[in-house]
Structures are given as structure tokens and as C-alpha cells.
Amino acid sequence: MRHSYLALLASGMWLMTNAHAADAPSITADIPMVLSYAVQPVQQFNQQLQQATQAQASWTASPETISQHYVGKGFELINAQQRNGRVITYNLRPQTDSHPQMLLILSIDKYQRGWKVSKAGLSWRCHDEHFYSTNTCELATHQP
């Protein structure tokens, strides 16, 4: 499912600015501009998170480590912002020959017994664009 930038603003979930944030990833980088995103599943991950929280697994202690656990290898946390008991994390995966630069945004809420991922959205940046979206990208093709 795709969502537009306007829907993001209307929900008050994610504030998107500065289209060049991904050019210099760091934890204090500006937030990338996202025009659309594809909703990612969170229910199964939240079940794992709840079980791991009860078992006091170390990765459940902070939204940043929870985010890293959700996105897996290949993604780097470039920004985390806390607002009203909610933490929004921005995770970037560099462009490769077969995939555009990917941005995975998580909304993580604090509860009495731990944390829960309330939303996850995947977006990407095509080679010539300065924003993230769900547009189709033309990737480099290798010819023998």
C-alpha cells in the first residue's frame, strides 16, 4: 500500500524536510524528504519484541536498538527523534547496482512494559532524484 506525503503530514506522524539528508548520513542528519512510502508489516515483529522484552533481551532497551533489529543488516540509523512518547527512526541502506537507496522509517511508541512499533514505511530514492518515494527506478544493467 502506498501513502502520500500529504497523508504523512495529515497524520502528524513524520515530518519530512531537507532532500539532501541522505548525502551525509549521521545520527544528527536532517530528515529526508519523503513523497510516498510503502507500508511494511509490524504485527509479527511486535510479537517477537514483546517476547524479547519479557525475556529482557538487550536489544529491546531502546528505540534505536529496536529499530536496528527490525531493519536488519545493511541499514544505518541516520536519525532518531522523540516526540510525545514516540520515537521516529530513519534507517538508510546505500544504493547498489541492483537496488536504489532505501529509507525505512519506523514509528516506535513507549508503553508501560516496553516499546511497540506502530508504523513502518519503506521508500527509496532513484539515482537522479533528491527525494524518497515509491516511484519506479531505472537501475544500471550489466551487459556481457
- Provide the CATH number for the domain around residue 109: 3.10.450.630
Instruction: With CA atoms as reference, report the closest residue to 81 among 32, 140, 144.
Output: 32
Structural domain contains residue 144: no
Per-residue pLDDT, averaged over 5-16, amounts to: 37
Q: Check pLDDT > 50 for residue 50.
A: yes
Cα(108)–Cα(88) distance, rounded to whole angstroms?
6
The model's pLDDT over 93-113, given as tens digits with 9 standing for 90+, comes to 888 878 888 889 999 999 888
Evaluate whether residue 82 is within a structural domain: yes
Kindly state the cell numbers that stand for 5.
506525503
pLDDT score recorded for residue 98: 80
Rg (the chain; Cα; Å): 16
Split into its structural domains, the chain has a count of 1
Asked if residue 81 belongs to a domain, the reply is yes
Containing structural domain, residue 96 = 2-125
pLDDT tens for 72-96 read: 999 999 999 998 889 999 999 888 8
Whether residue 140 lies inside any domain: the answer is: no
Residue 63 scores a pLDDT above 70: yes
Residue 140: the pLDDT is 59
The pLDDT value given to residue 113: 86
Residue 135 lies in a domain: no
Can you give the pLDDT at residue 70? Answer: 97
pLDDT at 29: 53
Can you tell me the distance from the alpha carbon of 117 to that of 119, in angstroms, rounded to the nearest whole number? 6
Give domain status of residue 64, yes or no: yes
Q: What is the pLDDT of residue 106?
A: 96
Residue 113 located in a structural domain: yes
pLDDT band for position 139 (cuts 50, 70, 90):
low
Looking at this protein, which amino acid is placed at residue 102? M
Q: Please say if the pLDDT value at position 2 is more than 70.
A: no
Band (pLDDT 50/70/90 cuts) for residue 141 is low
